[in-house]
Amino acid sequence: MAKSWSTPPGEALRVVPGFDLATADLAATPGWEHSESAADKRLRKDGEHLGEAQERLFAHGRTGGKRSVLLVLQGMDTAGKGGIVRHVLGLVDPQGVELHSFGVPTEKERSQPFLQRIREALPDGGRIGVFDRSHYEDVLVVRVNEVVPREVWEPRFDEINAFEREVTESGTVIVKVALLVSAAEQKARLRERLERPDKYWKYNPGDVDERVKWTRYQEAYQAVFDRTSTDVAPWYAVPADNKWFARLAVGRLLRDAVEGLHLGWPAPDFDVEAEMARLDAQPF
């Protein structure tokens, strides 16, 4: 038997009023009182359940269903967004996953409302959508680097809440995950990228420039939590200094989201008995 959570992450990690990023222990494993190896077993087991629920979701989409799940991943460089995609989304059938990474907007994207490229990337019915970065960059990096003035980014919190409500009402369950890495752990991870030729490709000299603004990023993330952790689309603050814990937690959050749709297998739109008879009547 795989070991279990003492408090599931949907409860243990949910951002509620009063959450304070500055004092959060990012090496902690809230709700999980077992070892890393027990976590690996748990994640594999959750992956099996997630895989089954995802197949039902996919079948639902194939038969015209409109429900979907959207996993929004935010975090500083090296927080482990890519690892979540590999280790958690890697547990399900890739056909059912729509992954979108959001980088610096193109010129065309900059000329459009900031939510436009996000709307275009929303998952189709039956899919699990994954955003590697998201519309939240428009109140994070944009705020910290003063890409636009406060009068422009400030109203975006309300716009985001209205947008997420609309998306939820159209049948998409949104799971917002902030992977929270400490400054010391980020430094160690960036250092590793410089020490290993197989990691150079992940290194971007600009990451060190962003690092200087750590405190301002913390403030920007705190504002995101304060303003956009809503009942329809709450944030989950996932301590990510232990990669294994972050993967375990997101695996469970995703499993709960997909299973929480309570989808059965689609009913046939044909006569099963008649089809059986037709098949059996064929000579080969």
Which stretches of the chain bind ligand AMP, using CB under 6 A?
A: 77, 102-105, 133, 137-138, 141-142
CB 247 within 8 A of CB 47: no
CB 256 within 8 A of CB 51: no
- First-to-last alpha carbon distance for the chain, in angstroms, is 46
- Which one of ligand AMP, Mg ion, none interacts with residue 244, CB within 5 to 8 A by kind? none
Q: Give SS3 for 40.
A: helix
Closer residue to ligand AMP in complex, CB, 45/100: 100
- Which one of Mg ion, ligand AMP, none interacts with residue 142, CB within 5 to 8 A by kind? ligand AMP
Q: Based on C-alpha coordinates, what's the Rg of the chain?
A: 21
Closer residue to ligand AMP in complex, CB, 68/78: 78
Measured CA to CA, the distance from residue 108 to residue 113 in angstroms comes to 10
Closer residue to ligand AMP in complex, CB, 92/118: 118
**What's the closest the beta carbon of residue 172 comes to ligand AMP, in angstroms?**
21
Residues with Cβ < 8 Å from 134, sequence gap 6 or more? 72, 73, 74, 102, 118
Measured CA to CA, the distance from residue 85 to residue 212 in angstroms comes to 27
Tokens of 192: 């590793």
Measured CA to CA, the distance from residue 143 to residue 154 in angstroms comes to 9
**What's the closest the beta carbon of residue 225 comes to Mg ion, in angstroms?**
22
- Which one of ligand AMP, Mg ion, none interacts with residue 164, CB within 5 to 8 A by kind? none
- Which one of Mg ion, ligand AMP, none interacts with residue 264, CB within 5 to 8 A by kind? none
- Which one of ligand AMP, Mg ion, none interacts with residue 157, CB within 5 to 8 A by kind? none
Measured CA to CA, the distance from residue 33 to residue 123 in angstroms comes to 35
Tokens of 263: 């989808």
Closer residue to Mg ion in complex, CB, 101/218: 101
**What's the closest the beta carbon of residue 22 comes to ligand AMP, in angstroms?**
21
Binding site for Mg ion (CB under 5 A): 77
Closer residue to Mg ion in complex, CB, 46/77: 77
**What's the closest the beta carbon of residue 250 comes to ligand AMP, in angstroms?**
17
Question: Which residue's Cβ has the minimum distance to ligand AMP?
Answer: 137
Closer residue to ligand AMP in complex, CB, 103/197: 103
Q: Give SS3 for 116.
A: helix
**β-strand pairing of 235-239 with 128-132:** unpaired
- Which one of Mg ion, ligand AMP, none interacts with residue 2, CB within 5 to 8 A by kind? none
